Amino acid sequence: MLDKTAGLENISIKGLEGETRRILEEEGVLLVCNHPHDAESIILLGTMPPRDDVSIIAAHNQMRLGRNMAAHILPVYPYRQEQTTSNLKLSVRLAKKFTSPPYPQEEMDRRNHATISLAAAKTSEGELVALFPEGVSGKSGKWRKGIGHLVSQIEPSKPVYFAMAHVKGTSDWDSLRVIPGLRNIMRKGSISFARPELFSSFNLPQNPNDITEYLQGTYSKWVNTLA
């Protein structure tokens, strides 16, 4: 887990207490969070309760961050024709400019499907998987349909929780938070956690696309309650 040396001094944490903390520490969980910029993943992982069985669904190029980080990443390949440069976060715009997709689209799709199945299995086995449903085009606010396919594959007899987090105050310049001195003059941010709910408590539709819309609606309603 990350600590305060990672530039998180100006990040306030809300809602991470009591039963919410216990569930995030001990239970099978699918944890979703917004991701309009680049720092949200660091803030989420740096503020979560520590546990060993954490995985994060992330772009495949994050596997290059070292073996310790790569051991917790479930890679996806988010190159799509419908993604436009204007709605991609800074790091992805740079990656698209200087790199090419690693595989043909058909192979990337196959690997993405395998990652979704593995993530569903991990949550069903009692592990925690973190996911940013907006994907690389986080500024658009629209969730990708992968979360619906993931949830549809979770073992229905298992007590798996749906957990939500929301980060405020980030920007494309958040990498500067790791620089002593500069971090203190940057805008303060926050992360809020909702109390997790069992998937079995939801009246989920059967179609993965409908599941995605249902969960995004649930997330949006909660975010609208935040101060």
| Cβ partners under 8 Å of residue 20, min gap 6 | 163, 193, 194, 195, 196
Report pTM.
Answer: 0.83
- How far is residue 204's CA from residue 214's CA, in Å, rounded to a whole number? 7
State the average pLDDT over residues 41-49: 89
| Domain encompassing residue 112 | 4-223
Give 121-138 pLDDT, tens digit per residue: 999 999 999 999 987 655
Residue 87 confidence (pLDDT): 57
pLDDT greater than 70 at residue 4: no
Is there a contact between 115 and 123 (Cβ–Cβ < 8 Å)? Answer: no
Percent of the chain scoring above 70 in pLDDT = 74
Exposed, middle or buried: residue 164 (CB in 10 Å: 0-12, 13-18, 19+)? buried
Residue 77 confidence (pLDDT): 87
Is there a contact between 7 and 183 (Cβ–Cβ < 8 Å)? Answer: yes
Residue 82 confidence (pLDDT): 46
State the average pLDDT over residues 79-96: 54
Domain count, the chain: 1
